[in-house]
Structure 1
Amino acid sequence: MSEDHSYSKLENAEYDQHRNPDEAYLTFTIPQCQHVRHITFDISSHDQGWSNYRHQWGTYEDSHTWFEVGVVPTDGGNGSPADATRHVIQRNVHARRQTTNHIVSWDDESASTEVGEWMKALKPGTTVGVFARALYPGWVNHVERVAVRLETLV
């Protein structure tokens, strides 16, 4: 039998290269279950809206704003290396000022081996974070909303 669990945050926030990369935009706790079967991320965001690389505008090439997911260490950041592993969810469209909505779904069987193994390793009570990232001067990740839906096997 499976159960659905939803988590979301609707709050405008800006993440640039100076913002703490360990500050999660959204956190949630894995509920009581055998394992996580499916994760869907629904992200509304955009970058700063310009770059010097006009030929990449409107593409995902060399976008330096993106989202990651990973376990949030409960011991002040001294977790094991496996706990520190993050997986890229989605990049923003390069040099696009308008908000874009991205829906990304991962299945424990069809996701890349690394992601599938990570999903299967998530245990009840584990805190997971969605992290908005930006790299290099001038790049800004403008986040409007992140929603996560989990399907768990109970």
Structure 2
Amino acid sequence: MPPANRESKPRPMLPLILGLAAVAVTSTWLYKRSYGNPPEAPTAEEPTVEPPTPEKPLDEALDPKDKQLHNIYHIAFLLRQKLVPDVVPAILHHAGLFHRHVDSIYNDHPVLITQRSAPYLCLETPPIKSSARVKNPVRKVVFSIQSCDQGWASDSNSGSWTWFTAGVVRREGEGSTPSELIDHDDDDDGDETEELEDMPPEGFLKHERQILRNDVASRTFKHHIVEWTVDSEDEEERRWVSSLQNGDRIAVRAWAQYQGWTNKIKSVSVGTYTAAVI
């Protein structure tokens, strides 16, 4: 074949190489310029997130590398000066540059949930809102929970019977009635639990799945960090995050099963990370 034909063949790897080079050089430089040097890699002895306190709210403890929306726009603008605009959203995604929304509660006196008072609605987020004009903008959800069980068990090998779940609250229409998210027993014994107010959601609960279970027979509050991403290898987790739409709310519920089991809740936080540029 003539050399001209060989030279005219498309080279699909070139945009990928340019994108990777941009991620490795441009994004790193911009990150250092905006936020300083990134933190060192975490180790088992040094957790990435410090336990929240009243002096340090959960939204600060959840992710110390918060990306402000205006900085993301600025980085996207600079990338588009040198790259094809279509590759910029993918670069921002792989660099973890998302818009973060955090909602949290902190209890000075831990809330105690027994079998009779479960399930208990710990937190319901406001509707998801994203600046990106897409139906499913969520890329990551991070749950931050401080909790423990009653501190003892007759059989520590039987597993934990106190846990948390997350579901999607979606309004179906103006005529929708609230889902039966709360199922409290009015005859609950008050010596074990605080008075809890029902917080019914404004829609229907969908896609509820387990976040975590407490350690068995532990009196010490543990700070759990659970992250679900749209890129997860777990298909159920990936589909759950991908299903979130603008206007959806995330509801976190606490559970306890069997007599004697108590779910003690000190704090709950939900961080929703959405695409900022599409």
Give the TM-score band, short-chain normalised. 0.7 to 0.9
Bigger Rg over Cα: 2
- Give, in whole Å, the separation in 2 of the partners of 1:148 and 1:39: 7
Q: Give the AA of the match of 1:48.
A: Q
Identity of aligned residues (%): 32
Q: How many residues align?
A: 146
TM-score by length of 2: 0.49
RMSD: 2.0
TM-score, length-normalised on structure 1? 0.85
Report the Cα distance in structure 1 between the residues aligned to 2:118 and 2:212, rounded to whole angstroms: 19
Note if 1:71 corresponds to 2:193: no
Give the whole-Å Cα distance in 2 for the aligned partners of 1:111 and 1:141. Answer: 30
- What is the alpha-carbon distance in structure 2 between the residues aligned to residue 73 and residue 19 of structure 1? 24
The one of 234, 240, 259 equivalent to 1:137 is 259
Aligned equivalents of 1:134, 1:50: Cα separation in 2:
14
| CA distance in 2: counterparts of 1:84 and 1:152, whole angstroms | 20
Which residues of 2 match residues 1-154 of structure 1 at below 5 A? 2-11=98-107, 12-21=110-119, 23-33=120-130, 34=134, 35-54=137-156, 56=157, 62-72=159-169, 74=171, 75-77=177-179, 83-110=205-232, 112-154=234-276
Q: Secondary structure at the match of 1:95?
A: coil
**More strand per residue:** 1
Native 8 Å contact 2:118 2:255 kept in 1: no
Q: Secondary structure at the match of 2:125?
A: strand
Distance 2:249 2:101 in 1: 14
Distance, in Å, in 1 between the alignment partners of 2:160 and 2:250 is 24
**Contact in 2 for aligned 1:47/1:94 (Cα 8 Å):** yes
Checking the alignment, whether the CA contact within 8 Å between 1:30 and 1:123 is kept in structure 2 is no
Whether contact under 8 Å (1:14, 1:140) holds in the other structure is: yes
- Look up the equivalent residue of 1:40 and give its one-letter code: V
Runs of 4+ aligned structure 1 residues displaced above 3 Å come to: none
Could you tell me which runs of 5 or more consecutive residues in structure 2 were left unpaired when the two chains were aligned.
1-71, 73-97, 172-176, 181-202
CA distance, structure 2, for counterparts of residue 145 and residue 93 of structure 1:
16
